[in-house]
Amino acid sequence: MHAVILFAHGSRDPAWARPIEAVAQRMRERAPATEVRCAYLELTRPDLPETVAELVAAGVQSLRVVPMFLGVGRHAREDLPRLIQDLQAAYPGLALELCPAVGENDAIVDALAQVALG
């Protein structure tokens, strides 16, 4: 069983997570056989370790973590890789892939440019 986690920063404002949840819903519509979850670094639940634990308990054997960051700051460069290392150590049988931040993807840059141009 395969899953994808959309990983974002988090916020005290519950409305902040709506765009991330919208991406997850669109993924579920396009790939119903893929388990899609959202997880957050701080201020919003669930966090990444909690989400991974739930997925592993449900039988997930491979997992892709997609950082939903436009910029690659300290969280993407340091905090997230450290979390991934800890999770890989906790679940050695799990195939765990950490993707680059979405802001590094040319398709995202092109889409944002198109939106900004109108």
Which residues are the active-site residues?
9
Q: How far apart are alpha carbons 102 and 72 in whole angstroms? A: 9
Cβ neighbours of 11 (radius 10 Å): 13
Strand 2-8 to strand 95-98: parallel, antiparallel, or no bridges (unpaired)? unpaired
Selection from 88, 102, 10 nearest residue 52 by Cα: 88
Bridge partners for 66 per DSSP? 6
State the virtual CA torsion across 67, 71, 77, 78 in degrees, nearest 10: -80
